[in-house]
Chains A and B, each alone.
Chain A
Amino acid sequence: MEYVIQADQLTKKFGSFTAVNAISFSVKKGEIFGFLGANGAGKTTAMRMLTGLSQPTAGQASVAGYDVRTQPEQIKRHIGYMSQKFSLYEDLTVGENIWFFGNIYGLSRSVIKSKTEQLLQELQIGSVKKQLVASLPLGWKQRLAFALASFHNPEIVFLDEPTGGVDPITRREFWEMIYAAADRGTTIFVTTHYMDEAEYCDRVSIMVDGNIAALDTPSGLKDSFEARSMDEVFVKLARG
């Protein structure tokens, strides 16, 4: 089995506060891995270490074959990242955003050009290429942000609460993009507060107070917690 993320006793302390407490887990290639937890459970801190933005206090992890301690720049080059809070430049046009991200990832002019056409066609947004991103509906922005997070064919895409606030159909269209990417072999690491979306993941981990309190397939979790839904599993675990 090929693993693209392997965390071993990964720990982060801020002063005397342990935000992430020696977590160990692995994510397989092409897997959709749900990373859940209550606000303040340590998800963001763990994700920052896995994306090379923050150094662990103890323990280690490899992401896309690179060490988070010694090769954070390599990691950034081989992953995609999208968050609801920030992903695109609102005051640049769609075309300018694509051009910008392509350059940041070091793609050549000709590659960017051909990939741009392909992307505009796939998302059916050719008509708004010259419009400012700020003027697009939220659902379009999210799909564009996901496409740009995957623009350089990364092995893993990290999605931090990607679907907040959008309507139910747009949310599902977004998940279809995720399925399609996973089907092509891209690994997806996703956080969400929508428990129905936790069901769309191949496996789900739930963090409580800095620890991974449970990790299994959605149906495995429901069985072991004698719960009918992931919502129930989550509430049982997080309420303690």
Chain B
Amino acid sequence: MNSIQVNGISKAYGKVQAVQDIHLDIQSGELFGLIGPDGAGKTTLFRILATLLLADAGDATVAGWDVVRDFRQIRRHLGYMPGRFSLYQDLTVEENLRFFATIFGTSIEENYDLIKDIYQQIEPFRKRRAGQLSGGMKQKLALSCALIHAPRVLFLDEPTTGVDAVSRQEFWEMLQRLKAKNITILVSTPYMDEAQLCDRIGLIRQGRILSVAPPDELTAAYPHPLFEVGAQNRYQLLQDLREYSPTRSVFPFGEFLHLSTRHPVDPMDIREFLAARQHREVVVRPTEATVEDCFMNL
């Protein structure tokens, strides 16, 4: 069953086309990642699907309901965690949670099971005002509040932006557990390494979805020869490789550079080119593409 269906959704703000002709089919219980940079249109799409914004064209359903006609049902069964922290800063942790439970006509006790894993980590601070929490704790409280009415579908708009690597990892472990409870999750992120943890990902840029695939399929379909190249002076290496004639693109990738070439090249040839330019400690080897390589290739 399709949990989220999007047919040709477009939205402009004045002259700026925020999203354009978006089509998506997200299955029930799927963890779907919307991957793209700031300004790509991710938040606009979330707001349309969360029934907070009307599209200029196209239609969409969430959990079987139309985003315009059936907005009341969607709001009852959707959990939405916006990108900006949107809880009441001057209420305590517990008051926020109780507030959201009450709004949805339920209680903390009734759905405690669903949030237990997450909420237990912040329960020691339940008397603390939300405004006083650290970034990681705010994020856990926001997720608890988005889940307290046991939604069928969960929208998470950049839940990990500005959050450190450890909290990010814990957050994704929580999402895997929610998915196991058959909640459909649509999550956006600018961190490409997180894409690997989704069932499928849609790459979005300048309001358009550029590709939809499971992350492994996406990376396996990378169409160019790709090498990781290292040397002692990385900045010089980058500049020199730009002058290497088979080079298509060359970008820093952590410890190494990723060099993609227009045609197959023998790694020996690259080594010789670099040796001639006095590079030391040269490493050249073929490598697999990552989601980030694919994104930059689009």
**Using a CB–CB distance below 8 Å, which chain A residues touch chain B?**
37-40, 137-138, 161, 164-170, 172, 175-176, 179-180, 182-183, 193-196, 199-200, 218-219, 229-231, 234-235, 238-239
Contact = CB atoms under 8 A, between A and B. Distances in A.
A30 B266 CA distance: 36
Interface residues of B, number: 34
Interface of B: 36-40, 134-136, 158, 161-169, 190-193, 205, 234-235, 238, 251-255, 292, 295-296
Given A164-B190, A172-B251, 6 more contacts: A138-B38, A167-B295, A194-B191, A200-B252, A231-B165, A235-B165
Given A138-B39, A168-B292, A235 B166 contact: yes
Most A CB within 10 A of own CB, among B38, B158, B161, B165: B165
A179 B190 CA distance: 23
Contact of A164 (B161, B205, B235): B161
Contacts of A179: 234-235, 238
Contacts of A168: 37, 192, 251, 292, 295-296
Given A167-B36, A168-B296, A193 B163 contact: yes
Contacts, number: 91
Given A39-B164, A179-B235, A235-B165, A165 B251 contact: no
B contacts with A: majority SS: mixed
Contacts of B205: 167
A137 B253 contact: no
Most B CB within 10 A of own CB, among A137, A229, A230, A235: A235
Contacts of B234: 179, 200
- What 6 A-B pairs come out closest when comparing CB atoms? A167-B37, A199-B254, A165-B38, A196-B254, A179-B235, A38-B164
B134 A183 contact: no
A231 B254 CA distance: 10
B167 A137 contact: no
Given A166-B38, A199-B255, A219-B255, A38 B167 contact: yes
Given A169-B251, A200-B252, A234-B166, A137 B238 contact: no
Given A138-B38, A165-B190, A176-B238, A39 B163 contact: yes
Contacts of B295: 167-168
